[in-house]
Structure 1
Amino acid sequence: MYTIRGETDIPEIELAHLEGYRASKPVRIGNGAASHMQLDIYGELMDGIYLSNRLGKPISYDQWLSVREITDYVCQIWQEKDMSIWEVRNAKQNFVYSKIMLWVAVDRALRLADKRCFPCPQRQEWYRVRDAIMEEVMEKGYNKELGAFIQSYEANEMLDSAVLIAPLVFFVSPNDPRFLGTLDHILKAPEKGGLTSTGLVYRYNSAKSDDGVGGREGAFSMCTFWLVEALTRAAAYESKYLPQAVTMFENILSFGNHLRMFSEEIARSGEQLGNTPQAFSHLALISAAFNLDRTLGSPH
């Protein structure tokens, strides 16, 4: 993590003398996440490299050597715990989202090796690790009694909307019964054990989570768009999900500002909260819109 000046020393400091926007204390500078272990980043990185090679500029041999080095490292550390995408502030855990993205890292490296016929001395080890990650997630990251993927191996009854990424990165098929069960649980209202309220999706049940953050939070824009896309992809096999995807997409668009831009979160009042505009929210919006448009058969 870097400051806008390129510095890496970013201690988080609370400015207790400041009230904050509409008394939204605490006000902080810096970022405590700078020291966090977030292993999911390797999946985002490798997926980006893979897509760039496929849709943009082919990677060079020297770049491939860097990919090999990264993948070999992932194969060494994939069983470690981390703070994951939500940057929790308590203990490290085996977060399912991170495991999925570590699987993505190895999978995309293998795809690149096959697509470009790159030399791959550790190919068999990569295959072994990719298979091991999936098998472990299916065994420890899925609660059979609940019928849903969970937040972490440690929090095995906690839903987490981050796992909506699974079919979007091809970890599971969108019609896999395990994923559809997860989808149905997330669609329930929070008071019924779900994460969806007024068509908006929460990250997880923060009231029941010992995440070290505390306080209430709004619905997450990115997660809502992820749910729209997951519903859209599932609708290719289960048509009942398509009307839900359309309704949810149209609903969240109504929360955009006058420029149709989105913040990180949306409050219960409908106001935008957090980073504005946030790149994550808009990347998820674009992907959801593209897939929904294609599924609806738009001529444009």
Structure 2
Amino acid sequence: MQKTAYVYVPTPSKTNLEVGLARGLWGWRSPTLDRAGSRQAVLSLDEGDLLVLGHRGPNSRVAPGGWSGAVLQRVIISEVTRPLFSAADQVWTDDEYPERIGMDVLEDVSPTGGVTLGAEAMEALRLSANKQGAAVLDPGVLEVTRFVNSLPPVISGSDHGSISHDGETSTATTVLRRREQAKMRRARFGNATQLTCAICGRVLPSRFVRAAHIKRRSAAGRLERLALANIIAACLMGCDELFEHGHIYVDHTGTIKASPKAEETADLAAVAARLAGRPVSGLTEDQEPFFSWHREHIAQQA
């Protein structure tokens, strides 16, 4: 069963928070994990579990349940990508924090009026605040799922064309990944009702076009994942799948090429050949590093 760990991040740790989010890491001092069973809680986290970071709340020195209506200035929901490990390289400037987990940020909420979670989640964060940021474990994801389902849609119909290739690991995780794609879609294409496929050049209703990552989401760091240059419009008429699986790629001149992968069947080769030689629509110079990664890691893999 998927689990959730809650960690409170106080106001003075804002810089450490930003560093951790950028690097996809969270860390603790060893004595913190040795306090009140926190090490066992973190050791129980597996890849795919959730880590919720609450930032800038009220005074935590209150009775149990005293945070049930409290407001946090920021809530970050992430997925564990690497279970607990030790490392000594300098990530944060004020300390090593050698006990670390890898994380992938799924949602970062900081509305003007603040945000609150369910009573159980807020109590876990209050306990974490009183344990110097130690992790407090919830054996399920019900609180996170309720919160995610309460979030307003990014834009009406924002799920159109935003289906992930990375698989679906849970209801909450799936919804959050789709919200991320919807945000990227809105930032890249606005609220356009029609889009031009960057690969085949067809102009189609927006619901037939995906906001596709050039460098796969699962391989991209957080900043790469949020880079608009890493997004192209790829239609559901076949272009998205052909590019995703490396049957076609984009060379350094911005021209579409068929890869040896397309030779799996004669019909597949014919489809790829019809696209080969076309220039990518709307190509920008800052997209080349992402296309280069796709050529090397997807199109050239046997």
Q: Which has the higher contact order (CA 8 A, sep 6+)?
A: 2
TM over 0.5: no
Q: Which has the higher helix share?
A: 1
Q: Which has the larger radius of gyration?
A: 2
The TM-score with structure 2 as length reference comes to: 0.29
Q: Where is the strand percentage greater, Structure 1 or Structure 2?
A: 2
State the TM-score, normalized to the length of structure 1: 0.30
